[in-house]
Amino acid sequence: MTMPYFQYKVRLAPKDIDFLNRIFEAYDHLALVSTIDAKEAVVLIRGYGQSSLVRRILRHLPIELEWQNLNEIEESGE
């Protein structure tokens, strides 16, 4: 049995990158936040499993996010 892999690419204010990262660390590493472009403040949020919870958290944060893409990929088991 494989868990679904998800990834979300978002743009936000550069000052909010650390805040976003700390939110997901506080949720016991529910998702990993990786900075793709620090100058443009584009991050990749990725993980396995609870994508609906991650989307809900992102929609209710007190910061402005611009969704670059919304992509969920089912990983094949090997």
For 27-69, the pLDDT digits (tens) are 887 999 999 999 999 999 999 988 899 999 999 999 999 998 6
Q: What domains does the chain contain, in order, with CATH numbers?
A: 5-73 (3.30.70)
Q: State the average pLDDT over residues 7-23.
A: 96
SS3 9: strand
Q: Regarding predicted confidence, which is higher, 66 or 70?
A: 66
Q: Which residues contact 8 (CB under 8 A, 6 or more apart)?
A: 44, 45, 46, 54, 55, 58, 67, 69, 70, 71
Confidence of residue 2 (pLDDT cuts 50, 70, 90): confident
pTM exceeds 0.85: no
Alpha-carbon span 28 to 50, nearest angstrom: 12
Residue 46: φ, ψ to 5°: -145, 155
